[in-house]
Amino acid sequence: MAFRSVGYPLRLHAGSGALDALGEEVRRAGGERAFVICGRTVGRETGLIPRIAGVLDGCLAGVFDEMDKDCSYPAVLAATAAAREAGADLLIAVGGGSVIVGTRAVAVFLGESGDPFELMTQYPEGRPAVSPKLLAPKAPIINVVTTPTTAMNRGGTAIKNDDLDQRMEYFDPKTRPVALFWDDEALLTAPTSLLRSTATTTFTQALQAASLPTGNPLADGDHASAVALALPAIVTAVERPDDPAPRIDLCAAALLVNRAADDHAGQPMARDAIAGAAYALATAIHIRFDRVGQGEATSAVLPTALRHVEVDSGSPQRIAAMLDRPVARDNGAAAAVAADALSEFYERLGMPVRLGQLGIPRREIASIAQETTKNFNANPGDRRPDGVARMEELLQLAW
């Protein structure tokens, strides 16, 4: 069995008082003018920013607290301008996925001199997508995580631009963080509704990854451990919102999913047609509708994708088994069992399992389907002519 493993330098601090080490990590990374990026809630309704300012002991150059959901292009431009004016030499993201991804975009925009629209991933007609290489040095990034997310230590960036028919996507491994913080106080700032959404995304990603063995024992071991952590932790986190322990377990599950992806680097992504379709649909939905989180969009479409997207990967059987359901040999029967089990689990958490529950008008389905075509993580290769029609069919079935 041949495989390889790729690792990236990262220092992790977790638990009570973890943020006390932030100043040390800033100095280790050579930062003298650290710039914080966060959203309004973290910036104005928690005590995190004053706490960070105290820990940084004079090297906080400024704060931008206007990063929005899905990190819109205008918000990223404003954050970049503020960081540049402050003379930032290190960026600290304090928040969830949108803030963390938006901070990566700021690092790209600060470092690169080219046109952002030329630097982003291109989708030439009839050919695979192309992500330009971003070679300029980038400011180091430290992520203070407030809710579990697999965005926490990746190198890919996708920001929302309402003037385009796609997100602005960038990839640069130099935007991976030099340090991560899972601080009890920071994690407990996320309300249960937000935690439920982000934890659902993390749990689902772990479940899907574990349903597709890679043949790499390091990756497969991390996938199995991620599910073992996420499955009980998501229930406990919702039931005990004042307990930081399950939130840290969910962060660990997200990190393991990412580590497995690195260990499987250079090989086909562990995602079958079911996971690919569900990811593309959920992304299009939560980007289009500000009121819908990624977790809600995922839970509303994945059971339908399980029932109606045919695969020979064995993933439905494995998903059913991980959810403690009898496993049918027949693919169709296994898919139905897995979809029912997953729907019941989502409903137990209080998550939607149909598009109609999200209040999405049925007349929007055609435009949502169109927006699934340019999503590098879902489909970086050739985009089939019948792809939009298939996505529309799945949306109708999910409604």
Enumerate the domain spans of the chain.
Answer: 11-187, 195-270, 272-399
> How far is it, in rounded angstroms, from Cα 199 to Cα 147?
8
Q: What is the C-alpha to C-alpha distance for residues 144 and 263, in angstroms, rounded to an integer?
A: 24
* pLDDT for 380: 67
191, 293, 200, 306: which is closest to 254 by C-alpha?
200
Amino acid identity at 135: L
3 state SS of 188: coil
H helices then E strands: how many in the chain? 16, 8
The answer to whether 342 and 320 are in contact (CB under 8 A) is no
Record the pTM. Answer: 0.94
Q: Which of 190, 292, 283, 279 is nearest to 237 (CA)?
A: 190
Residue 201's alpha-carbon distances to 67, 206, 255, 306, 351, in angstroms, are: 21, 9, 13, 16, 11
pLDDT at site 268: 47
Give me the architecture of the 11-187 domain, per CATH: 3-Layer(aba) Sandwich (3.40)
pLDDT reported for residue 265: 63
d(CA 200, CA 144): 20
**Which pLDDT belongs to residue 283?**
94
pLDDT value of position 299: 98
DSSP helix/strand/coil, 110: helix
Residue 185 and residue 146: Cα distance in Å, rounded? 9
Taking only the tens of pLDDT, the chain with its 399 residues reads: 688 888 899 999 999 999 999 999 999 999 999 999 999 999 999 999 999 999 999 999 999 999 999 999 999 999 999 999 999 999 999 999 999 999 999 999 999 999 999 999 999 888 889 999 999 999 999 999 999 999 999 999 999 999 998 899 999 999 999 999 999 999 999 999 999 999 999 999 999 999 998 889 999 999 999 999 999 999 999 999 999 999 999 999 999 999 999 887 655 445 688 998 999 999 999 999 999 999 999 999 999 999 999 998 899 999 999 999 988 778 789 999 999 999 999 999 999 999 999 999 999 999 999 989 888 776 666 566 678 999 999 999 999
CATH topology of domain 272-399: Dehydroquinate synthase-like, alpha domain (1.20.1090)
pLDDT at 313: 87
Q: Residue 27 — φ and ψ, nearest 5°?
A: -65, -40
Query: Could you give the CA distance from residue 205 to residue 199 in angstroms, rounded to a whole number?
Result: 10
CA–CA gap between residue 227 and residue 213 (Å, rounded)? 13
Residue 21 makes CB contacts below 8 A (sequence gap 6+) with: 13, 181
The CA-CA-CA angle for residues 212, 216, 221, to 5°, reads: 75
- Please tell me the distance from the alpha carbon of residue 394 to that of residue 308, in angstroms, as a whole number: 8
Question: What is the predicted pLDDT for the residue at 128?
Answer: 87
pLDDT at 266: 54
The Cα–Cα gap between 14 and 183 comes to: 5
